[in-house]
Amino acid sequence: MTAFGLYQHQEISCPNSVTGDAGIFFLALINTLFTNQCQLGNKDDYPIDSGPTLVDNEVFDYIIVGSGAAGSVVASELAKATQSRILLLEAGGYPSPTSDIPAFHPSLQKTTEDWQFHTEKSNESCLSFKFGRCLWPSGKTLGGSTTINHMLYVRGSKHSFNSWAAEGNLGWSYHEVLPYFKKLEKLEAYELKASKQYGMNGLLPLTRNRLHHPVRNVILDSVKEIGYKVYSHEGGLGFFEALQTIYQGVRKNAAKVFLADSRALPNLKVATEALVEKILIEKDLKEANGVVVNIAGRNLNIYAEKEVIISAGAVNSPKLLMLSGIGPKSHLGSLGIETIHDLNVGQTLKDHLTYPIITLTLNDSSVKYSSQNPTEELFKYFANREGILSNTGLSNILGYLNTKNHTGEPNVKFNYHIVLRQDSYAISQYRKNLNLDDTIIESIAEANKHSHILVISVTLLDAKSRGKIYLRSRNPHEKPLIHSGYLSDEKDLETLLKAIRIVEKQTETKAFKKLSAQLVNVDIPNCRKYKFRTDDYWRCAIRNVATSGHSPIATCKMGLVIDPDAVVDALLKVHGVGKLRVVDSSIIPSSTKADSAAVSLMIGQKGTQMILNGFSVIKHDSR
């Protein structure tokens, strides 16, 4: 029942007619809200849910598990290019109206649209998080993580893709994957069109923030002062304003973009609230031939005549393989799961590691902000999709730097987030999403009572540390065990420390001094014994507060048959098991030095072409 529904059976006494400019504005706001409420989170933007009509033993040509960045692309492209019968299975439901509003993206974590994964306790990291566990948000809805993330679109380092190819993954060099990026892209940022760096005719709209935040120029001027370049788009070491998957003030997630016309594709069915529990594999042939899926309490066997394609993400793809008997033999045996094929599934986990709370106070009088009246901003957004709700503040300003020199590949990333003075909503989101010890958040909240604050995050892009993912049990409804491995290699600690030192230099520039910027000594109880800003203090702070950068990869690593850690080959076929592919971020063998959203979309596009090409590049090996 909606809030309005509470009054359906009550006698309501209304006030006299509203008058004056305020009254006219109020009535206009109410009318706008009613008119626009169905335009956000509209199910007509998404496929019809075929889950209730699926029956046991139904047969398709392709079954795709997961409707995230890669899965949505694969389903759409296969359905358009062939007459094959395709079934796309999504464990979550339809995206909420909230997910469409760019500024509200932090509120989507720890909701039903999030799998709400977390790491296991460690003696080396996440020490000041409640229960000693860092949170790992991951989209559980149509569109997957593209429905709950920060909407940034960054392809990544050319060198990274070239290194994939150098390791024997034929077809994955940068110049070979670039056409697949461009096929996806529809550049709407007109100032970049002359560069010809991005695709113009794809479905995915790429835009720039429509509002320039007052602190934007301060950040960009400050980094120039300390010797870094500012670019018009990603490329090279330096700072730039990233493109975003936002169009006319609304998030464009992968399902909305690539599955929008699925209602006109009779060969594509999509089922929501459909949890795949197991891949069906013919043991004699070692071939996948279907899945067991739970839909509204019904367990159905659904069969695939051509292929089963797993696009469930870097956590759920390895989980599903292991539940199906594909994974480390000793681990599967310990849970009583028969091993169909012994592969190092989940054993080479990598993730970006972020220190998220470098906090500065800013002098109120030196920063000129536009009106932040909530009612006015609501009206702007619902009437015209404009205002602060239509964008993501400063989060699109990114810095990609190397802590050793001003050349070579980036090894750290910088992000920025402004919190206006006494912004209790923003502080509540930090409290919820970080899940840190209350004392730490209260320390930040106290600073925010008196000033605007700028929160800077530094992120490790190519960690040396490795983690592992295991099954918690044989129960497919249980979350897996995530052993992050964060900071198990001391080199990662030192790299983050150097990144923090760069931030300190940035805050001491003339640009920041104009704002009277002051670093806040955030109260981390476990680090009180160290003097603020010493190396020992920052090392302690990193071990206590650093958390996931939300870009896990390599849990179903792509590699040659001779690579003992490889799970799939360069065609994304699972080694040793026929008619089974993994097409998502879990196959990424090494970091692209960027968030995984854009590269996952590219993997979906390239993976589809490989499926359509059949066996023309590499023969399936029988390891």
Q: How many CB atoms lie within 10 A of CB 505?
A: 13
Cβ contact 446:361 at 8 Å: no
At how many degrees (to 10) do helices 438-450 and 424-434 cross? 160
Dist CA 436 CA 3 (whole Å): 33
568 is in an annotated binding site: no
| Partners of 301 in the β-ladder | 292
| Partners of 413 in the β-ladder | 400, 459
Q: Which residue reads 């080199």 in tokens?
A: 491
Cα separations in angstroms, 548 against 110, 296, 350, 366, 531: 15, 32, 10, 34, 26
Dist CA 142 CA 426 (whole Å): 26
**What residue type is 595 in one-letter code?**
D
254 Cβ neighbours under 8 A, 6+ residues apart: 67, 68, 69, 71, 72, 73, 143, 144, 146, 147, 601
Largest CA distance in the chain: 80
Main-chain dihedrals φ then ψ at residue 282, nearest 5 degrees: -75, 110
- Residue-wise over 451-475: b if at least 16 C-beta within 10 A, else e? bbbbbbbbbbbbbebbbbbbbeeee
Cα separations in angstroms, 115 against 312, 499, 504: 11, 31, 35
State whether residue 93 is helix, strand or coil: strand
The dihedral through the CA atoms of 87, 89, 94, 99 has a sign that is negative
State whether residue 604 is helix, strand or coil: helix
**Token couple for 476:** 């497919």
Question: Would you list the DSSP string of 338-389?
Answer: PPSEE--TTSSBB--EEEEEEEEEE-GGGS------HHHHHHHHHHHS-SGG
Dist CA 492 CA 549 (whole Å): 14
Question: Binding site: residue ranges?
Answer: 276
Instruction: Please state the residue numbers annotated as binding site for FAD.
Output: 276
